[in-house]
Amino acid sequence: MTDFCPVLWPEESTPEHLLDCNECGLDQHGSRMVWGEGNPLAPIMIILDNPGAREDRGGSPMVCGTRQTLQQAANLVGLTMEDLYVTFILKRKPVRAYDKQQVRQICMTHLKQQLEEKQPKLIFCLGNVAVQSFFENAEAEVKALRGEIHEIHGLPTAVGYHPLAVRRRPNLLSVFIEDWNFLKDHYNRIKSY
């Protein structure tokens, strides 16, 4: 895409009272909680389904493919980490089978709390799985919803493909960048009000 070099964005700590959260059962999967990353006060909140690992098997920090592609797209359209906060429908990465609908419904209460507290100006929801949870509509699809602003949970929301889908299907790259440009244009409009 460019010679821009992605880095691991700072992680926002999990609130103290939720460090041992076991409400949905994903605590049994062994992956650690990631509350969010980037700028916790950013005007744009990006929502992905789950955090993926920030460390490799040896415990060293790493920037996974999803984070690389996301940051490259942001950089390409002129957005920086200061503009962006990334969080997740699920705060832990599932590593085996689980009750998808129930678990997402449970953890969405934490995301709703984050929305209340942070009051982002704009949401960018990436990937069908995150979109279906966030829109609370099992039929929702990026393909049909992209290129428009939707009012979801009282907040202007744009959608796009998941960065991993773009890595797997490079033909999605131009559409992905279009969606990032759409986000940036809308952000510029609200900034100028």
Residues that bind ligand SF4 (CB under 6 A): 18, 21-24, 26-27, 33, 90-92, 106-107, 110
CB of 92 to ligand SF4, least distance (A): 4
Cβ–Cβ contacts within 10 Å for residue 121, how many? 17
Whether residue 146 contacts residue 165, with contact meaning beta carbons closer than 8 Å, is answered with: no
Closest separation in Å from C-beta 27 to ligand SF4: 5
Half-sphere exposure of 29 (CA within 13 A, CB side): 21
CB of 148 to ligand SF4, least distance (A): 29
What CA–CA distance (Å, rounded) separates 65 from 100?
Answer: 23
User: Closest CB to ligand SF4 among 68 and 132?
Assistant: 132
| Residue 113 Cβ vs ligand SF4, minimum distance, rounded to whole Å | 11
Nearer to ligand SF4, 29 or 169 (CB): 29
Which of 107, 101, 96, 77 lies closest to 182, judged by CA?
A: 77
Residue with smaller CB distance to ligand SF4, 34 or 145: 34
CB nearer to ligand SF4: pick between 21 and 155: 21
Q: Cα(147)–Cα(69) distance, rounded to whole angstroms? A: 20
